[in-house]
Amino acid sequence: MARPPRPSTLNAKLAKNAKKDFSAVLAVFAFFALFLAVPAPRAQVNTTAITIVGGELADGTGAALRRANVRIVNDRIVGAGQDVKPLAGDTVIEAAGLVVAPGFIDIHNHSASELASEPAAASQVAQGITTVVLGPDGGSPWPIGEYLDERRRSPASVNVAVMVGHATVRRLIMRDDYKRTSTDAELARMTALVEQGMREGAVGLSSGLEYEVGGYADTHELVELAKAAARFHGIYMSHIRDEADKSFEALREAIAIGEQARIPVQISHIKLGTVGVWRRAAAAVALIENARKRGVDVTADCYPYNAWSSTITVLVPDKRYDHPPSVEKALADVGGAGNVLIVRHAAHPDYEFKTLDAVARSRGVTPVEQFIQIVRDGGAGVVCTSMVEDDIRAFYRQPWVMVGSDGGIGVRHPRGAGTFPKVLGRYVRDLQWITLPEAIRKMTSMPAERLQLRDRGRIAAGTIADLVLINPSTVIDRSTFSDPTALPIGIEKVFVAGELVWDSGKSVAISPRRSGRVIPTPN
């Protein structure tokens, strides 16, 4: 799908930055003047060509595997097929026994702040991820333009796209007085910020309605802000208001926002996270399918784990964290305090990687009392085992559900380092829930289409050479709940824009500049 032009963006920019643009015109003029003065070199000395031979191609569309060579010149794929042969001077990469696929696009990734300190993003490229979509769950870097400029100045190994966070703009306008619905005046100011973020290069609006700041917004506020994102051809991506007993109401709200704002909706990490809704995936699927039949463009992503990771307060939907009956119900809903693993608690690091139940017992208090104390001591990051595999399987089998990690660099949940290899190794090879070409489609062309990235997510002549070479018989995650950052195996090579960034278990940097780009990249 082509991204339509953005005339309003351009006009606004011209009006606002007339002075800046004039100097840009001068710079462009100077650039072309240079071309006139210096004759173009006859041969391109710095062309690099690579041909990957003998692999099985999963081209990203879901088509069956086929034997094909893939030739790359500089940052682009120039051919893929059995008749494609290496030319003299090409670097030849032998891929017999490997699957050659487009690089994975992770539509829900929490590496925004870590990319500055860990631009090699080893835990991400080791999974085959070549593009990360940052700013999910309502929280994004700000200002968007500044963040993207920083990524342009010091690129990472992975490509970067970013969403405008609803809670981020809500907090900017409402400051600490956010525990209420917004006024019309505040909403108008938030709308202006969403527009600003979109103008500066965001690909959509994200919300996190189970969280402190975003959760106080009413549907009207979200519809109005989603309309602003829609004016710039963005999507609305939501960690919906409830992933527990009220999952169905929350799904209905997300669909209504899409319908009223006329915007594509992406349900983040779709799940049924409490005893009361377990094994009701078929009903959730039917709800979404009905919306799709009415013409609402709803899709979802799903991570391959039966445990979520978030803040401990997310457990209590009514947000009465110090009200024992609310906490008691919350813990019962996830199957008990033994299912709640504390992974981060600044006040007592000794609680980390112990269950809430174990901590409570060691201190001689009830799990409810322990929960309340932890919240008083500043809260905690938890991993909560509260989903069933039957539901995960049902979601992955839907053609509109893609793979997303909800992970990122340093995330204390195994999904941060294991999501994509786990789907390929466990769900495709071992359990045969879905075929390999279909799984690859869910990791590549599906998110690319969602984000209107025309030249990524497929292997075809002219697309950008973001590629991954997978050993289908060995690929598997190795990250666990107690060792969440262990790297997977079986992702043999990863290319980003034609440059090798991961090779046989190690990150490599062939060029002094990392090849990840900010996308969408204007052509």
- Nearer Cβ to Zn ion (137/301): 137
In this complex, which beta carbon is closest to Zn ion, that of residue 209 or of residue 459? 209
- For Zn ion, give the closer residue by CB, 53 or 167: 167
What are the CA-CA distances from residue 369 to residues 321, 324, 480 (Å)?
11, 8, 28
Q: How far is the CB of 215 from Zn ion (least distance, A)?
A: 12
3-state helix, strand, coil in the chain (%, to 5): 35, 20, 40
The residues in 137-156 that bind Zn ion, with binding defined as CB under 5 A, are: 137
Q: How far is the CB of 249 from Zn ion (least distance, A)?
A: 17
Tell me if residue 366 falls in helix, strand or coil: coil
Closer to Zn ion at the Cβ: 127 or 207? 207
Angle between helices 219-231 and 184-199 (to 10 degrees): 30
Min dist. Cβ of residue 110 to Zn ion (A): 9
Cis peptide before 317 (omega within 30 of 0): no
- Closest approach, Cβ 239 to Zn ion, in A, equals 3
Segment near Zn ion (CB under 5 A), from 3-11, 234-242, 408-416, 497-505?
234-242
Q: Which is nearer to Zn ion, 240 or 487 (CB)?
A: 240
Burial class (CB in 10 A: 0-12, 13-18, 19+), 11: exposed
With contacts defined by CB under 5 A, name the span among 15-23, 49-57, 235-243, 499-507 that binds Zn ion: 235-243
DSSP 175-200: TT--SSPPPHHHHHHHHHHHHHHHHT
Please give the size of the binding site for Zn ion, defined by CB under 5 A.
Answer: 2
Q: How big is the chain, counted in residues? A: 523
Residues 263-292 binding Zn ion (CB under 5 A) are none
Q: Is 413 in the site for Zn ion (CB under 5 A)?
A: no
How far apart CA 382 and CA 137 sit, in angstroms, is 16
CB of 210 to Zn ion, least distance (A): 7
According to the binding rule CB under 5 A, does residue 239 interact with Zn ion?
yes
Residue nearest to Zn ion (CB): 239
The least CB distance from residue 268 to Zn ion, in Å, is 5
CA distance 407 to 48: 33
Residue 137 or residue 221: which is nearer to Zn ion going by CB? 137
The residue whose two tokens read 């940097």 is 509
Binding mask 108-137 for Zn ion (x = CB under 5 A): -----------------------------x
SS3 310: strand
415 sits near Zn ion (criterion: CB under 5 A): no
Q: Which is nearer to Zn ion, 239 or 478 (CB)?
A: 239
User: How do 104-106 and 129-134 pair as beta strands?
Assistant: parallel
- Name the residue nearer to Zn ion (CB basis): 122 or 277: 277
Q: How far is the CB of 224 from Zn ion (least distance, A)?
A: 22
Q: Which stretch binds Zn ion (CB under 5 A): 10-18, 183-191, 233-241, 381-389?
A: 233-241
Q: How far is CA 383 from CA 181, 411, 415, 503, in A?
A: 30, 11, 11, 31
Helix or strand (DSSP H, E) at 284: helix 281-293
CB of 241: closest distance to Zn ion in angstroms? 12
Q: Measure the CA angle with vertex 209, ends 208 and 213; round to 5°.
A: 85
What phi and psi, each to the nearest 5 degrees, are found at residue 240? -70, 170
Q: Are 368 and 324 in contact (CB under 8 A)?
A: yes
CB of 447 to Zn ion, least distance (A): 16
Residue 23's CB is within 10 A of a number of other CB atoms, namely: 10
Binding segment toward Zn ion, per CB under 5 A, in 72-80, 199-207, 239-247, 294-302: 239-247
User: What pairs with residue 458 in β-bridges?
Assistant: none
Please state whether beta strands 66-73 and 76-81 pair in parallel, antiparallel, or not at all (unpaired): antiparallel
The distance of closest approach from Cβ of residue 512 to Zn ion in the complex, given in angstroms and rounded to an integer, is 36
C-beta closer to Zn ion: residue 101 or 401: 401
- Residues 174-203 contacting Zn ion, CB under 5 A: none
Nearer to Zn ion, 239 or 517 (CB): 239
| Residues within the interface to Zn ion (CB under 5 A) | 137, 239
